[in-house]
């Protein structure tokens, strides 16, 4: 009996050691992947930014006026470079979250200002469309707590999709303050999503196979990243949709995020006093 216990303990120790080595390897390779992607993305982004910068100068006519054909080609170069830059940035963002290297900087956010800012940056996307905006449930000065950059990215991705996939109609941003969380809904009256495609919507590099979607810019990483950004802050995201009628994306952020911030600053001030 004693020998059996000893043998079992030895087996268990060996198994634990094997598992530790295995986890070590996974961690190392995940760190390698993130570092590799970070370096690669820096190396790719630097020349790409130069291409975009010089292309913009050419488009603005700084080096002289362009003829119709030149202008067409230079705009194609600009579109493709921006597309590539967007893709590299998103892949890097996703890999940072996946490897646990993304950090949160929680702060107080004036929601009204942030929404106005995002809607105005999106103006080039909707200016030529017959789209009306409606903001629902916002107090005059509505405050929430979240990571500002990540929250802005979530709102930007959802609103830009709503614009992209709506020919004309209405986009509604709805806010609700519940006891334990803040709830956000982005509703559009666009092309909608067929139930057959519901499964792919949050998957990496997946887009609905339709003429309208294929003609719209995108690589199918926006929602994959958005979901990770919401989950990272302790929230959830879901959607409901009806083909040809419209789509609603809803996400929430728990208010405990504010308590975490308060606890952190308590710990910080305690440490400062030591
Ligand atoms: P992208 O916008 O780059 O195509 P996303 O990851 O943001 O990728 O979205 C994935 C797919 O989900 C889109 O290609 C589209 O088919 C569908 N989709 C997203 N938002 C909407 C929306 N508001 N209305 C209809 N379809 C949408």
What pLDDT tens digit does each residue of the chain (274 aa) get?
788 888 888 888 888 888 888 888 877 887 777 778 778 888 888 999 999 999 999 999 999 999 999 999 999 999 889 988 988 888 888 888 887 778 889 999 999 999 999 999 999 889 889 999 999 999 888 999 999 999 999 999 999 999 999 999 999 999 999 999 999 999 999 999 999 999 999 999 999 999 999 999 888 999 999 999 999 999 999 999 999 999 999 999 999 876 666 666 566 666 666 6
CA 108, chain centre distance (Å): 20
Measured distance CA(140)–CA(131) in Å, rounded: 24
pTM for the whole structure: 0.79
Nearest of 51, 173, 62 to residue 111 by alpha carbon = 173
pLDDT at residue 32 in the model: 79
pLDDT value of residue 260: 65
Say if ligand 1 is within 6 A of residue 87 CB. Answer: no
Contact predicate 125/157, CB 8 Å: no
Instruction: Judge contact between 237 and 251, C-beta under 8 A.
Output: yes
In this prediction, residue 244 carries a pLDDT of 94
Query: What is the model's pLDDT at position 97?
Result: 86
Cβ–Cβ under 8 Å, residues 253 and 235: yes
Q: Tell me the CA–centroid distance for residue 210 and ligand 1, in Å.
A: 11
Ligand 1 atom nearest residue 218's Cα: 3
Question: What string of DSSP letters covers 104-170?
Answer: --EEEEEHHHHHHHHHHHTHHHHTTSEEEEEEES--TT-EEEEEHHHHHHHHHHHHHHHHHT-SEEE
- Report the 10 Å Cβ neighbour count for 24: 10
CB 140 within 8 A of CB 112: yes
Ligand 1 atom at shortest distance from the alpha carbon of 207 = 14
Q: What is the pLDDT of residue 49?
A: 92
- The answer to whether the CB of 225 is under 6 A from ligand 1 is no
| Closest residue to atom 3 of ligand 1, CA basis | 218
Separation of 7 CA from ligand 1 center, angstroms?
56
pLDDT at 59: 93
Query: What pLDDT, on the 0 to 100 scale, is given for residue 124?
Result: 86
Given this model, what pLDDT does residue 269 score?
Answer: 64
């Amino acid at each position: 009996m004693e020998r059996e216990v000893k043998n079992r303990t030895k087996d268990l120790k060996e198994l634990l050691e094997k598992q530790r080595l295995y986890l070590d390897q996974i961690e190392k390779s995940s760190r390698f992947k993130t570092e590799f992607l970070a370096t690669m993305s820096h190396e790719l982004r630097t020349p790409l930014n130069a291409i975009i910068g010089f292309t913009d100068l050419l488009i603005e006519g700084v080096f002289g006026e362009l003829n119709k054909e030149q202008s067409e080609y230079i705009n194609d170069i600009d579109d493709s470079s921006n597309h590539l830059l967007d893709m590299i940035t998103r892949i890097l963002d996703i890999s940072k979250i996946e490897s646990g290297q993304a950090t949160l900087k929680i702060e107080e956010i004036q929601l009204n200002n942030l929404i106005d800012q995002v809607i105005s940056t999106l103006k080039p996307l909707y200016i030529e469309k017959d789209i009306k905006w409606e903001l629902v449930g916002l107090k005059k000065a509505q405050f929430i707590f979240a990571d500002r950059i990540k929250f802005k990215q979530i709102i930007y991705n959802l609103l830009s999709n709503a614009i992209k996939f709506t020919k004309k109609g209405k986009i509604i941003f709805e806010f609700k303050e519940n006891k334990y969380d803040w709830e956000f809904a982005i509703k559009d009256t666009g092309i909608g999503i067929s139930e057959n495609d519901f499964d792919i919507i949050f998957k990496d590099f997946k887009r609905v196979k339709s003429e309208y979607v294929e003609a719209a810019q995108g690589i199918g990483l926006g929602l994959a990243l958005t979901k990770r950004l919401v989950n990272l802050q302790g929230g959830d995201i879901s959607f409901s949709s009806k083909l040809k009628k419209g789509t609603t994306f809803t996400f929430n952020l728990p208010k405990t995020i504010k308590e975490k911030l308060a606890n952190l600053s308590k710990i910080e001030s305690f440490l400062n006093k030591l």
